[in-house]
Structure 1
Amino acid sequence: MRLHHLGEIDSAATTAVLTGDPDRVPRLAAHLGTVTGEWRKRGYVVAETEFEGRPLLVCSTGIGGPGTAIAVEELALLGVTRFVRVGTCGSIQRHIDAGHVVISTGCVRDEGTSHQYLPAEYPAVPDFGLLRAIVGAAEDAGFTHFVGPTHCKDAYYAEKPEGFPLAEQWRARWAGLRAARVLATEMEAAPLFALATVRSLRAAALFVCTDDTLGAEETFTALGAAAVAAARGAFSLESGDTDAKEERP
């Protein structure tokens, strides 16, 4: 199928792992299985891999909500019904260290794209069945993970707002998020969850916490383990899954 932004993609996969950095896509696809195809267009990279005997797409989204929404909309046109974001985040809670994995149960919607899909008072939450399956896969894998609410934003450097005209308000907001037990902050999950809700798709997200102490290879090792849990969780639903597109209004 020819997709406007993703290009000409030939795949029967119904599950996709989404990650921000396009350079991670070939490595994650090879980590998950035998790569059977790769497509590149307009900064997007999509690879098909065979994971435990089934086709799986790994797709980059770039940074932030708009690129994520485009990728998900077009992969849904291709026939993908299950999406799991596997990326990085910044820890908000002091007990969550670099290298730990956070699995989101819903987002504080501090960005713009999700509001194009759902009103502000509507929660951005993952599909419960997919969330439960991924938590189970993470428990089976045995890596350190935390499950709870996360924060989604548009401004990466708002984490360090020194020099911002509203720096005090930002510092107060981060303190409030910590007090409210929000686990981590990132930039793509809220639009993914909102779009999936509107389009009757299944979506979930898990993130590796990073900081200046975590090297690139350590980050990839954690991302690879998270991606395996994401794929196993998503495929565990396949036998009972219906084609979500048929249920759209």
Structure 2
Amino acid sequence: MGAGKFVLFGSCGVLDDEKTKGKIIIPVSAVRDEGTSYHYMAPSSEITANPRSVQTLETVLTACSCPYVKGKTWTSDAIYRETLPMIEERRQEGCLAVEMECASMLAVSKYRQIPFAQFLYGADSLSSDTWEIRDLTLYGLTDAEKYMVLAFECGLAL
């Protein structure tokens, strides 16, 4: 539909509070546990982010004095399959977070050859045996505005 590049940001479930607390998460790869990405790329267990897009995010976040961590994420479109054994398995694979779109968007952007960058902020925590529901309204308007500004800066830099 004419889009030349995509910047996506949103919340995620945190799998490792120690590594992610107070930081933006930059996905460097995504475990493909959803359906959409398989329509655009050959089957594989993971898909990697474009290193140039990752570097762009790092540059923008550093310039904006925003702490971040890079790592793998788990893309799942089956929230009721986020069981304790699966969460532990993904944690052991090095996943920092679980979300619902990164693998799909990475696949579509590679298929369409369109620059794509994504960053995440931790919402719910699945870092322990008990699900910690964190209301997104706790982030407040100022955080939402901050993330939007970061997204615009990333889009301009891509």
TM-score, normalized by length of structure 1?
0.54
The equivalent of 1:235 in structure 2 is: 156
Secondary structure of the corresponding residue to residue 121 of structure 1: coil
- The alignment status of 1:104 with 2:33, answered yes or no, reads no
The equivalent of 1:206 in structure 2 is: 119
What pairs up with 1:58-73 in 2 under 5 angstroms?
none
CA distance in structure 2 between the partners assigned to 1:187 and 1:219 by the alignment: 22
Secondary structure of the corresponding residue to residue 227 of structure 1: helix
4+ residue segments displaced more than 6 Å: none
RCO higher in structure (CA 8 A, sep ≥6): 2
Whichever residue aligns with residue 9 of structure 2, its letter is V
Assess if the C-alpha contact under 8 Å between 2:32 and 2:45 holds in 1: no
Check 1:93–1:153 CA distance in 2 against 1; reply closer, same or farther (3 A cut): same
1:130 counterpart (40, 53, 72)? 53
What pairs up with 1:31-50 in 2 under 5 angstroms?
none
Assess if the C-alpha contact under 8 Å between 1:86 and 1:205 holds in 2: yes
The equivalent of 2:106 in structure 1 is: 193
CA distance in structure 2 between the partners assigned to 1:184 and 1:207 by the alignment: 9
Assess if the C-alpha contact under 8 Å between 2:40 and 2:111 holds in 1: yes
2:139 counterpart (218, 227, 235)? 218
Assess if the C-alpha contact under 8 Å between 1:126 and 1:202 holds in 2: no
Q: How far apart are residue 138 of structure 1 and its match?
A: 0.9
Q: How far apart are residue 188 of structure 1 and its match?
A: 0.8
Q: How far apart are residue 133 of structure 1 and its match?
A: 1.0
The equivalent of 1:148 in structure 2 is: 71
Aligned length: 149
- Higher-Rg structure is 1
- The alignment status of 1:93 with 2:11, answered yes or no, reads no
Check 1:128–1:227 CA distance in 2 against 1; reply closer, same or farther (3 A cut): farther
Assess if the C-alpha contact under 8 Å between 2:7 and 2:116 holds in 1: yes
CA distance in structure 2 between the partners assigned to 1:219 and 1:115 by the alignment: 36
Structure 1: tracts of 5 or more residues without a match: 1-76, 160-169, 238-249
CA RMSD of aligned residues (A): 2.0
Q: How far apart are residue 109 of structure 1 and its match?
A: 0.3
What percentage of residue pairs aligned between the two structures are identical? 25
CA distance in structure 2 between the partners assigned to 1:112 and 1:82 by the alignment: 22
Q: How far apart are residue 190 of structure 1 and its match?
A: 0.8
Structure 2: tracts of 5 or more residues without a match: 125-132
The equivalent of 2:129 in structure 1 is: none
CA distance in structure 2 between the partners assigned to 1:203 and 1:137 by the alignment: 14
CA distance in structure 1 between the partners assigned to 2:45 and 2:78 by the alignment: 22
Secondary structure of the corresponding residue to residue 224 of structure 1: helix
Q: How far apart are residue 229 of structure 1 and its match?
A: 2.1
Q: How far apart are residue 218 of structure 1 and its match?
A: 1.3
CA distance in structure 1 between the partners assigned to 2:74 and 2:81 by the alignment: 12
